[in-house]
């Protein structure tokens, strides 16, 4: 009797030790893989051509795989857990159908995440907009994409939604961004003088870049096109096409130009528009 108890305790202790060893090895592998990938990404993060999207996605996929393998070893090592697993597998057909139905959205998100990483409609740090969401891609996980908006809030969007939506990517293929600067002037204002002021203010702004190619420069194309786009009830609207190195600079450029152009208009007598009404009074015979 005593021998049986001792033997059982020895077996249980041995199984416990083996389970602890497997769990420790799993944790070490998990830690080493994550540490190595994080170190690699940090080392190359400052390189202009480096894209961390694939590596972040691979990191999460490997982490999940390591945990699943570790759990599998522990389950089949312990007889009681192995018996439960065998019983579950015996009814695998029904269980797979139930799990498949319950987790189809999860699987859709994972498959969509893989497709996003492969096709790259957007990458980490890209500025994108969809529906009423706009911001910078901060992370792409197995299930969702994290977008940081301009209020520093994180928006979590399922990958299945990202994969099916129309996305505007400001960094796709080219970071250079066009910013429209539209300003209205009064009907009595000198349009040519106003256009010249706008061009001067745009060219001297340090964020502005010359977007013309060699052929356009050779043909003396305008460095800053300024056009009359609308004639309203009480104003003439001018639009200038300006270019900046990236969407962030383009936004700042637009804000600075609106302020500097308004100041120049006030100094040089370019009248800003205001609503007015002509009243015609007729004398009845």
Residue 276 belongs to a domain: no
Which of 169, 188, 207 is the endpoint of a domain? Answer: 169
Q: Is the pLDDT of residue 2 over 50?
A: no
Residue 9 lies in a domain: yes
Inter-CA distances, 74 with 3, 60, 65, 70, Å: 27, 22, 14, 6
Q: What is the pLDDT of residue 227?
A: 93
3-state helix, strand, coil in the chain (%, to 5): 55, 15, 30
Mean pLDDT, range 195-215, rounded to an integer: 91
pLDDT at 12: 63
Count Cα atoms within 13 angstroms, Cβ side, for 199: 12
Question: Which are the contacts of 50, defined by CB distance < 8 A and separation ≥ 6?
Answer: 44
Tell me how many domains the chain contains. 3
pLDDT-wise least confident of 23-32, 69-78, 188-197: 69-78
Contact 130, 168 (CB under 8 A): yes
CATH classification of the domain holding 148: 2.30.30.60
Which of the four pLDDT bands, split at 50, 70 and 90, describes residue 200? very high
Same domain as 122, residue 80: no
Asked if 42 and 85 sit in the same domain, the reply is yes
In a domain, 202, yes or no: yes
Q: Is residue 99 part of a domain?
A: no
Among 25-29, 109-113, 138-142, 189-193, the range of highest mean pLDDT: 189-193
Residues 182 and 165 in one domain: no
In a domain, 75, yes or no: yes
Which is more confident, 237 or 74? 237
**Confidence (pLDDT) at 83:** 62
In a domain, 95, yes or no: no
Check if the beta carbon of residue 29 is closer than 8 Å to that of residue 66.
yes
Structural domain that includes position 135 = 118-169
Q: Supply the pLDDT for residue 48.
A: 61
Residue among 142, 270, 144, 126 nearest 198 (CA): 270
| Within-domain flag for 200 | yes
**CA distance to 84, 131, 215, 260, per residue, from 8 (Å):** 20, 63, 87, 85
Last residue of a domain, one of 75, 90, 105: 90
CA-based nearest residue to 252, from 189, 260, 184: 260
How far is it, in rounded angstroms, from Cα 263 to Cα 161?
45
Q: Which residues pair with 240 in a beta bridge?
A: 181, 226
The verdict on 66 and 35 lying in the same domain is: yes
Reference 270, options 195, 209, 215; nearest CA is 195
149 and 74 housed in the same domain:
no
Query: Taking the CB of residue 231, how many other CB atoms lie within 10 A of it?
Result: 10
């Amino acid at each position: 009797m005593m021998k049986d108890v001792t033997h059982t305790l020895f077996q249980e202790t041995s199984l416990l030790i083996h389970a602890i060893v497997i769990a420790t090895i799993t944790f070490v592998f998990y830690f080493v893989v994550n540490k190595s990938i994080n170190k690699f990404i940090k080392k190359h993060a400052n390189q202009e051509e480096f894209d961390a999207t694939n590596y972040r996605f691979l990191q999460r996929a490997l982490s999940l795989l390591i945990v699943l393998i570790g759990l599998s070893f522990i389950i089949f090592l312990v007889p009681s857990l192995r018996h439960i697993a065998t019983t579950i597998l015996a009814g695998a057909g029904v269980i797979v159908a139930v799990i498949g139905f319950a987790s189809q959205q999860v699987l859709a998100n994972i498959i969509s995440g893989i497709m996003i990483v492969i096709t790259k409609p957007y990458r980490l740090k890209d500025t994108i907009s969809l529906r009423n969401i706009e911001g910078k891609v901060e992370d792409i996980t197995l299930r969702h994409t994290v977008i940081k908006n301009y209020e520093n809030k994180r928006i979590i969007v399922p990958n299945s939604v990202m994969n099916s939506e129309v996305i505007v990517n400001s960094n796709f293929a080219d970071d250079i961004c066009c910013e429209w600067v539209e300003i209205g002037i009064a009907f009595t204002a000198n349009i040519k003088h106003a256009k010249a002021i706008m061009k001067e203010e745009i060219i001297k702004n340090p964020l502005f870049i010359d977007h013309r190619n060699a052929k356009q420069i050779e043909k003396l194309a305008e460095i800053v096109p300024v056009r009359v786009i609308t004639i309203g009830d009480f104003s003439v609207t001018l639009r200038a096409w300006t270019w900046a190195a990236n969407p962030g600079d383009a936004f700042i450029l637009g804000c600075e130009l609106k302020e500097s152009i308004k100041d120049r208009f006030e100094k040089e007598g370019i009248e800003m528009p205001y609503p007015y009404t002509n009243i015609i009074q007729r004398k009845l015979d």
